[in-house]
Structure 1
Amino acid sequence: MNDLNPTASPVVAELVERSNRLGSDPKNTNYAGGNTSAKGTATDPVTGEDVELLWVKGSGGDLGTLTPSGLAVLRLDRMRALVDVYPGVDREDEMVAAFDYCLHGKGGAAPSIDTAMHGLVDAAHVDHLHPDSGIAIATAADGEHLTKEVFGDKVVWVPWRRPGFQLGLDIAAIKEANPRAIGCVLGGHGITAWGDTSEQSRKNSLWIIRTAERYIKQHSKKNPFGARVKKYEPLSPARRRARAAEVAPLLRGVASQDRPMVGHFIDDKVVLDFLASRNAPRLAELGTSCPDHFLRTKVKPMLLDLGPDAPMDKVRTRVAELHEAYRADYAAYYDHNAKALGGEWPAMRGADPLIILVPGVGMFSYGKDKQTARVAGEFYVNAINVMRGAEGLSTYAPIDESEKFRIEYWALEEAKLQRMPKPKPLATRVALVTGAASGIGRATAVKLAAEGACVVIADLSQELAREAAAAIGGPDVAVGVQVDVSDAAAVQAAVDAAVLAFGGLDLVVNNAGLSLSRSLLETTEKDWDLQHDVMAKGSFLVARAAAKVMIDQGIGGDIVYISSKNSVFAGPNNVAYGAAKADQAHQVRLLAAELGEHGIKVNGVNPDGVVQGSGIFAGGWGASRAAVYGVDEKDLGKFYAQRTLLKREVLPENIANAVFVLCSDELSHTTGLHVPVDAGVAAAFLR
């Protein structure tokens, strides 16, 4: 072992391997939930003597993907010495700051609130997990009795206590008083297990989880959620997703009143069955219990009490009513608890729901980015499983509302939020870029994603669209869809795909295009129709479908047309292309005038010929234009550069930068503008 690197210890390797194995199975714990630890010795590089260390998963890490760098490393003697200075439950928050004085060397990751549990329990290896089966027993009204009945004396009940130093003391005392115990059930929260070896700890954790699963399966009542309600039966998959795409913009607007949100949609059977049950309204109102769950999902969801086939005008009215009631209820929850508990609390962070349930359709979850929104949805699925287990054995009884408030507005939670990096300029924005598998479109998609947007790569080639999306970052950042922009149904399908992938749509780049370089006499009617169908008609179809989503959301948006200097510059042998681009250019002005009242900006970018990476130029347009100008095709970019005022070749990234600026806050008051990105073509100056 490298004495100066305590994370190189074999103990650490075992801990990381155990953590990854436990964390990779969602039955064991949720994403970023729970923590694991190991104790061992290392040589102190200052004294040369052995020192006892505690390695424990740090704050904010995920067990399934944990690496040594995600561990906090503390001196065990100093950590346990905190018992002598612990000031009591009323000053719990001070103990997390005290952990910093126990760190070994640089200490690795920041210690979490659960560090005390791991350090104070007299066991070499400790696992704290949030399995659905364990939380089901932990949230049952008679959870203490069930714990004894399910596990005998191998697992001990621990009454609810907020995570912290006192909980660590409680569990340490329970382990000492129950030498046969391998773990405990934490009321309202989860489980903790321990062992003398890493493998024993893992096996003990799994024994508790699997034993709970088997007991629930064998002893649960037949219909834990009650009888099914015919009114709320699920639509067929195709109708369900069509309905989801229809209501998603409206719901995203609701979730984004305080701050913009990205959305995620889930229509798994577990969600649909819950929403079709008689007891779903009662259980949804009770909210979640495990702190990891409600910190991601808020204390409770918003439930739409209409059937999935209700007329949209009725849905709009009812959603508005429910949203107003939800916000008032959340404000009352905040005001009541802040007053009743006394002291100073962080300001209310927002009163919009993070989970919206639509019977017969599915669940919409929201967050500051796609991953956060997706995980929130996954956590509510966990909560449904917990409620099913608790109701099947007993009655679901989550922790008290005041305890939820204490955790939601905990000073430590607030400090964690304040430490988060500043959002990127386009964070929470959902962008759809057409013709985005190559050239200008791809460069634009890459730029928007780099600035924080979620991006839908739309292209005629589905394979190339998916490849481009994967290269940008995968489904939490970008998705690829196939679209023929001249086909209204295909355009609507692409917009629906964007809405279902990320909750809505904020930014559209009309980039899809093609060109045929022919003289007037050589241009056929088919040539004319093809170019106008793709660029003039295609841009209209995309803008129309996108504008409907943006108007329903009620949070504004941007539509950007990639037009061309040819929209104002008359060059030879491109009558169809130039006319189509002029059509696009005037659409910018027309739509800017029409959509401004909805907060939707419409602008354009006029590039000169962009040769590098261009599908258009590679498809024959480059050869044709080179022939017109009497240069070699390979020198066409250089030729275009030399005829500009700046003598610079225009690259796809230059266009992408212009699109970003048009959609950024810096140009929040600009609409109806065409930005030339042509390195200076005097004949194309706007007048």
Structure 2
Amino acid sequence: MSLERTQFKNVSYLWDDATAAAMAGDEVALLIYRSNLLGADLRLTNYGGGNTSCKAVVPDPLTGSETEVMWVKGSGGDLGTLKRNGLAALYTDRLRKLENVYRGIAFEDEMVALFNLCLYDPASRPPSIDTPLHAFLPFKHIDHLHPDAVIAIAAAKNGQQITQELFGGSIGWVPWQRPGFDLGLQLRKCLHNNPGIRGIILASHGLFTWGDTAYECYLNTLEVIDKAADYIDAKVAQQPAVFGGRVIPELPAEQRRSQAAALAPVLRGFASSCQSMVGHFTDAPEVMEFINAKDLHRLAPMGTSCPDHFLRTKISPLVLDLAPEEDLHDLPAIKNRIAPLFEAYRRMYAEYYRQCRHDNSPAMRDPNPVVILWPGVGMFTFAKDKQTARVAAEFYINAIHVMRGSEAISEYISLPRQEAFNIEYWLLEEAKLQRMPEPKALSGRVALVTGSAGGIGKAIARKFVAEGAVVVISDNDETRLQNAGREFEQQVGKDAFAAALLDVTRPATIRQAFAQAALSFGGVDLIVNCAGLSISKPLEAHTEADWDLLYDVLVKGQFLVTQAGVEVMRKQQLGGDVINIVSKNALMSGPDNAAYGSAKAAQLHLSRLNAAELGKDRIRVNVVNPDAVISDSKIWEGAWAEGRAKAYGITVAELPAFYAKRTLLNEIILPEDIANACFALAGGLLHKSTGNVLNVDGGIAAAFVR
């Protein structure tokens, strides 16, 4: 073990000499390697934050002469997952010569378009606004990060003095300034005025460090951040109480999560007044320390300091005026207490926009809070999708770390509101938002699909995710559910789904699944009752147990899941969809099918009854009637397939062809066909349709509804 691995207490030394040696001579590969290591430690930088660069001399493709090129993380992307296609490659001398045409700080934005004239590789990532910050520093390798420990110093009232004393003049200081071309010139000026420094702290912003090699840069970055973290930890340890000490009692973890699950759909409904939002909840220790403290109401309204934090968390959080153990059963009363808090926040945000706007500012965006704090319980965040909501929570936790450190060493100061506005409504940020792809049909919607660890249910869940939804997959088979969970994580990522063990015959597991939906995503908009089983026997062979099982799973299960889901939807007041996967057997009689067929008929009529009752809540209830979906279906394993084959006088192997031949279209029905039907009902084009039956059976005349 090398000395470097053991000398750090507050950061992770991840450099592997053998791995780096294999990249020797390839400075870009070493840049990516270093960037990935830095991005793997959230104490160094946050998701999507910071940028890194390297400079190397290479042949000019036009002249063949040697020229210096700078590779720098391009617009967007994340250091932890950075690859070569995430870098912008530019001629260093051309970037520096842009100073000749720079017209001053009032014309910052026009410089961004000129970066494209400096591209060495036209196919590389678009350059970010931070590009000149790297260009005007002469070092071969540069890191620009947003470590909490350093930002705590950068956001402290006397941060410049602390920087001088802590680092003995080896770290420069540049006052707050919005990123751009001029800030690059300020970094160069700071370096010129302080020769020999090893880094620069940008007030309220972050850290620049450098080195002649990728490894020297990496080591320098770790040393500076570790020293800052050591200093802050020592100061925190000297405090009698963090954030003024705890004044709100903290509920036990299980009770916190129960309270959060009960309230999350209510908050989601209010937060979705402009567009449908997806939620995230955390009761991480640092969150609890902050929201239960005396200084919460002083610090929270101040907002964050670092632009990367602010862009994702908004001007300030909303703090709920509810006791941790609040009785949430009287829903109208709770909503009457919460509504004024949201109205006040929206007024505050509108006033902030009015006071700070410029003549060319983009129109005001959604005035609802992103971060909602419930003292004693935890933190909710709401955004357009799960990843954005989760990342907003991570950034606010970073902001808590910063406030904690700044208060320990001095006094926390946030970004002035006008400066915050100039970042939030920066025309370049607006242009970035406008370039984002259009939302998909189910973006912002949360689905819960029963029986979705395989077959039809899994196909539906996969289709909904592909169309933008987040999904709770569920099943009563734990092994099957775990396998599906691994498959989903590999294919769509952990933010797109949650997994819940759910037995539709056990109300406790239904409640737990919807609680998980609330904690993971804020609530639910779309319920698909897909869980099922089949028993095929002649009338005389059917047992009472067969009958009860079929009716418990198919009819009672559908009833219980719908009942629990509607309770959540009514809390949100956003409407919703219930789609029941029934069967052509609900409409068509067949042999050896008394219990299953009649239960399916009950499911169908229950759907009609629910549609009639829930229209006032804008909750649509529709039915998809499949037939003979054999692929990956648990229903068709074993006795059911044998029973149906026996009833028709054929073998099990002949069943798919037999079912296809009896349809008008001569088609085998696949799980994906049912998934497409569900999407047709929930995708928005049929938002004024309820109580409908959509047959997906290849065409069976005897099963026509009319």
TM bin, normalised by shorter chain, reads over 0.9
Matching residue's letter, 2:352: Y
Please, what is the CA RMSD of the aligned residues? 1.3
CA distance 1:8–1:506, shift in 2 (3 Å): farther
Matching residue's letter, 2:59: T
| 2:498 alignment counterpart | 479
Matching residue's letter, 2:681: L
Deviations 1:123-156 (A, max 9, x none): 2221110000011011111111111121111111
The question of 1:669 aligning with 2:688 is answered yes
The question of 1:559 aligning with 2:575 is answered no
Compute the TM-score of the two structures, normalised by the length of structure 1: 0.97
SS, match of residue 666 in structure 1:
coil
| 1:4 alignment counterpart | none
CA distance 1:458–1:81, shift in 2 (3 Å): same
CA distance in 1, matches of 2:214, 2:435: 33
The question of 1:502 aligning with 2:518 is answered no
Q: Quote the offset at 1:107 in angstroms.
A: 4.8
* Contact 2:587-2:705 within 8 A present in 1 as well: yes
The question of 1:638 aligning with 2:654 is answered no
Out of 139, 142, 148, the position equivalent to 2:158 is 142
Deviations 1:430-488 (A, max 9, x none): 11111111111111111111111111111011222232133222321122211110111
* Contact 2:154-2:202 within 8 A present in 1 as well: yes
CA distance in 2, matches of 1:69, 1:364: 34
| 1:518 alignment counterpart | 537
* Contact 2:271-2:277 within 8 A present in 1 as well: yes
CA distance in 2, matches of 1:256, 1:462: 34
Q: Quote the offset at 1:510 in angstroms.
A: 0.2
More deviation, 100-109/629-638: 100-109
Out of 510, 523, 531, the position equivalent to 1:491 is 510
CA distance in 2, matches of 1:598, 1:537: 22
| 1:405 alignment counterpart | 421
| 2:34 alignment counterpart | 18
CA distance 1:247–1:137, shift in 2 (3 Å): same
| 1:529 alignment counterpart | 548
Out of 328, 339, 361, the position equivalent to 1:320 is 339
CA distance in 1, matches of 2:389, 2:242: 28
* Contact 1:189-1:290 within 8 A present in 2 as well: yes
After superposition, residues 453-464 of structure 1 pair within 5 angstroms as 453-464=469-480
* Contact 2:303-2:415 within 8 A present in 1 as well: no
Matching residue's letter, 1:228: R
CA distance 1:147–1:160, shift in 2 (3 Å): same
Deviations 1:366-425 (A, max 9, x none): 222111111110000000000000011111101100000001000000000000111111
* Contact 2:53-2:142 within 8 A present in 1 as well: yes
The question of 1:227 aligning with 2:242 is answered no
Matching residue's letter, 1:410: W
After superposition, residues 108-123 of structure 1 pair within 5 angstroms as 108-123=124-139
Q: Quote the offset at 1:237 in angstroms.
A: 1.3
Out of 627, 648, 651, the position equivalent to 1:608 is 627
Question: Where do 5+ consecutive residues of structure 2 fail to align?
Answer: 1-22
Out of 232, 247, 250, the position equivalent to 2:266 is 250
Q: Quote the offset at 1:335 in angstroms.
A: 0.7
After superposition, residues 391-402 of structure 1 pair within 5 angstroms as 391-402=407-418
SS, match of residue 346 in structure 2:
helix
CA distance in 2, matches of 1:289, 1:584: 55
Matching residue's letter, 1:496: A
CA distance in 2, matches of 1:405, 1:562: 49
CA distance in 2, matches of 1:241, 1:399: 33
Q: Quote the offset at 1:329 in angstroms.
A: 0.4
Out of 32, 44, 47, the position equivalent to 1:28 is 44
CA distance in 2, matches of 1:222, 1:191: 30
More deviation, 36-45/409-418: 36-45
* Contact 1:34-1:128 within 8 A present in 2 as well: yes
The question of 1:469 aligning with 2:485 is answered yes
The question of 1:435 aligning with 2:451 is answered yes
CA distance 1:8–1:441, shift in 2 (3 Å): farther
| 2:104 alignment counterpart | 88
The question of 1:376 aligning with 2:402 is answered no
More deviation, 407-416/143-152: 143-152
CA distance in 2, matches of 1:657, 1:428: 19
After superposition, residues 134-283 of structure 1 pair within 5 angstroms as 134-220=150-236, 221-229=239-247, 232-283=248-299
Q: Quote the offset at 1:305 in angstroms.
A: 2.0
| 1:618 alignment counterpart | 637
SS, match of residue 631 in structure 1:
coil
* Contact 1:470-1:478 within 8 A present in 2 as well: no
CA distance in 2, matches of 1:331, 1:383: 23
Out of 42, 49, 61, the position equivalent to 1:45 is 61
SS, match of residue 104 in structure 1:
coil
More deviation, 305-314/103-112: 305-314
Out of 336, 340, 349, the position equivalent to 1:330 is 349
SS, match of residue 615 in structure 1:
coil
Q: Quote the offset at 1:315 in angstroms.
A: 3.4
| 1:549 alignment counterpart | 568
CA distance in 2, matches of 1:291, 1:146: 21
Number of aligned residue pairs: give it.
676
| 2:18 alignment counterpart | none
Q: Quote the offset at 1:8 in angstroms.
A: 12
Q: Quote the offset at 1:497 in angstroms.
A: 1.2
Deviations 1:315-367 (A, max 9, x none): 322211100000010000001101xxx33100011101111111111111122
Matching residue's letter, 2:381: S
CA distance in 2, matches of 1:452, 1:619: 36
Out of 616, 630, 641, the position equivalent to 1:597 is 616
CA distance in 1, matches of 2:321, 2:352: 22
The question of 1:309 aligning with 2:328 is answered no
| 1:79 alignment counterpart | 95
CA distance in 1, matches of 2:429, 2:478: 43
| 1:130 alignment counterpart | 146
CA distance in 1, matches of 2:196, 2:111: 30
CA distance in 2, matches of 1:619, 1:32: 50
Deviations 1:230-262 (A, max 9, x none): xx3221111111111100101111221111111
More deviation, 560-569/232-241: 232-241
Deviations 1:104-123 (A, max 9, x none): 13151111111010001122
CA distance in 1, matches of 2:624, 2:589: 17
Compute the TM-score of the two structures, normalised by the length of structure 2: 0.94
SS, match of residue 618 in structure 1:
coil
Question: Where do 5+ consecutive residues of structure 1 fail to align?
Answer: 1-6
Deviations 1:541-594 (A, max 9, x none): 100111111111111111000001111111111111111111110111111111
SS, match of residue 493 in structure 2:
coil
SS, match of residue 444 in structure 1:
helix
Deviations 1:14-43 (A, max 9, x none): 111111111110110001100011111110
| 2:10 alignment counterpart | none
Matching residue's letter, 2:465: A
More deviation, 302-311/90-99: 302-311
Matching residue's letter, 1:403: E
SS, match of residue 365 in structure 2:
coil
SS, match of residue 494 in structure 2:
coil
